[in-house]
């Protein structure tokens, strides 16, 4: 495989399947019906998905699916002051644990109620508000309610993904995988924030360039307030810089036609799941590409038979 093929294979390996998507939809619709039941005492106005699953940036193994439960504010306030978040969360948890489908499966995982199933988790976040103005959600320490606008966040990512030929959402999955390999130092949604900001300014031709560009600029776009601690923030910047150096080395090797060596640098950054290629295979591919003898079979695989590929100085990017 070439470097671009290795990256594509990694992306395929970490992307959830259609079957998993269907299973999530079934559970979500069931939960939505229960949470909006007029007789459950929660006074829910509507339910919507948000987070990495809704934005298609979630990766395997499928972990949490975020669900916003919008409540009727008039039922939870006194003299214009909202009830304490803890009381609201306790009420939602008690209700879910009392249902037949999710009996004793709901636990509080601040600032939400989490339903733990065998292969995934659903995080139910009570809130007040609307798409136009934003939502009040429980603060992380449950001391009160903080304003958030998840819909705008999603819309910005969707827009930059459209502007960059649908490359950014899959790229975010690759970056989230790298982040998970680093111990999830960067909050998942902040990966999306930084990618949105960076690729609003910069175009990319493929995911290789996307990773290179993000590592080049991400350190400047990190917001310390988004991290659990200053230590985590500093460590994230250190890890980004270390990865940037290796990917920069890989880029230089790639330009020189040393594709196998470039792939090894990527594997150092992304870990055991990143596909590899033998040195001899990479050399053969690169030499065939230079001489114009490389073929593309009807299956899409590269080899000595099939349609000829136009010669180029190095292999991997059409038109370069």
CA–CA dist 80, 159 (Å, integer) = 36
Contact assessment for residue 146 and residue 137, using Cβ atoms and an 8 Å cutoff: yes
Stretches where the chain sits below pLDDT 70 are 277-320
Kindly state whether residues 19 and 140 are assigned to the same domain: yes
* CA nearest to 170, candidates 300, 9, 1: 9
Which two tokens mark 185? 């130092």
Q: Which residue has the tokens 């990917």?
A: 247
* Other CB atoms within 10 Å distance of the CB of residue 99: 17
Kindly state whether residues 160 and 142 are assigned to the same domain: no
The total domain count for the chain is: 3
Kindly state whether residues 30 and 121 are assigned to the same domain: yes
CA–CA dist 150, 51 (Å, integer) = 8
* Distances from the Cα of 183 to the Cα of 119, 166, 240, 290, angstroms: 21, 27, 13, 41
Kindly state whether residues 140 and 170 are assigned to the same domain: no
Q: What is the pLDDT of residue 279?
A: 52
Contact assessment for residue 125 and residue 137, using Cβ atoms and an 8 Å cutoff: yes
Q: What is the pLDDT of residue 93?
A: 97
- Give domain status of residue 270, yes or no: no
- Give domain status of residue 271, yes or no: no
- Give domain status of residue 5, yes or no: no
Kindly state whether residues 104 and 68 are assigned to the same domain: yes
Q: What is the pLDDT of residue 289?
A: 46
For residue 187, which phi and psi values (nearest 5 degrees)? Answer: -55, 140
- Give domain status of residue 118, yes or no: yes
Kindly state whether residues 142 and 27 are assigned to the same domain: yes
- Give domain status of residue 124, yes or no: yes
3-state SS, residue 32: helix
The DSSP 8-state label assigned to residue 251 in this structure reads: H
- Give domain status of residue 267, yes or no: no
Task: State which of 82, 117, 148 marks the end of a domain.
Answer: 148
Residue 74, CA atoms < 13 Å, CB-side half-sphere:
1
Q: Which domain holds residue 305?
A: 278-320
Kindly state whether residues 283 and 216 are assigned to the same domain: no
Kindly state whether residues 247 and 302 are assigned to the same domain: no
Helical axes 259-270 vs 230-255, angle rounded to 10°: 170
């Amino acid at each position: 495989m070439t470097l671009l093929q290795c990256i594509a294979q990694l992306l395929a390996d970490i992307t959830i399947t259609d079957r998993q998507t269907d299973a999530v939809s079934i559970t979500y619709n069931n939960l939505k019906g229960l949470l909006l039941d007029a007789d459950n005492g929660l006074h829910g106005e509507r339910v919507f998905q948000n987070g990495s699953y809704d934005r298609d940036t979630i990766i395997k193994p499928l972990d949490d699916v975020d669900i916003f439960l919008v409540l009727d504010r008039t039922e939870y306030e006194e003299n214009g002051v909202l009830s304490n978040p803890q009381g609201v969360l306790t009420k939602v948890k008690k209700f879910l644990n009392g249902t037949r489908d999710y009996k004793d499966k709901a636990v509080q995982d601040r600032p939400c109620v989490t339903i733990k199933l065998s292969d995934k988790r659903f995080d139910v976040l009570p809130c007040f508000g609307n798409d136009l103005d934003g939502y009040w959600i429980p603060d992380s320490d449950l001391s009160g309610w903080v304003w958030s606008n998840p819909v705008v966040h999603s819309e910005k990512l969707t827009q930059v993904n459209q502007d960059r030929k649908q490359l950014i959402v899959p790229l975010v999955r690759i970056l989230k995988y790298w982040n998970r390999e680093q111990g999830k130092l960067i909050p998942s949604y902040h990966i999306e924030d930084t990618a949105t900001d960076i690729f609003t300014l910069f175009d990319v031709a493929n995911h290789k360039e996307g990773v290179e560009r993000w590592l080049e600029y991400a350190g400047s776009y990190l917001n310390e307030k988004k991290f659990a601690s200053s230590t985590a923030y500093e460590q994230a910047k250190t890890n980004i810089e270390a990865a940037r150096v290796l990917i920069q080395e890989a880029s230089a090797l790639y330009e020189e036609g040393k594709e196998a060596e470039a792939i090894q640098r990527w594997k150092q950054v992304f870990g055991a799941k990143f596909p590899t290629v033998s040195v001899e295979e990479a050399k053969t591919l690169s030499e065939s590409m230079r001489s114009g003898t490389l073929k593309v079979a009807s299956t899409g695989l590269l080899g000595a038979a099939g349609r000829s590929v136009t010669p180029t100085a190095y292999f991997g990017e059409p038109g370069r």
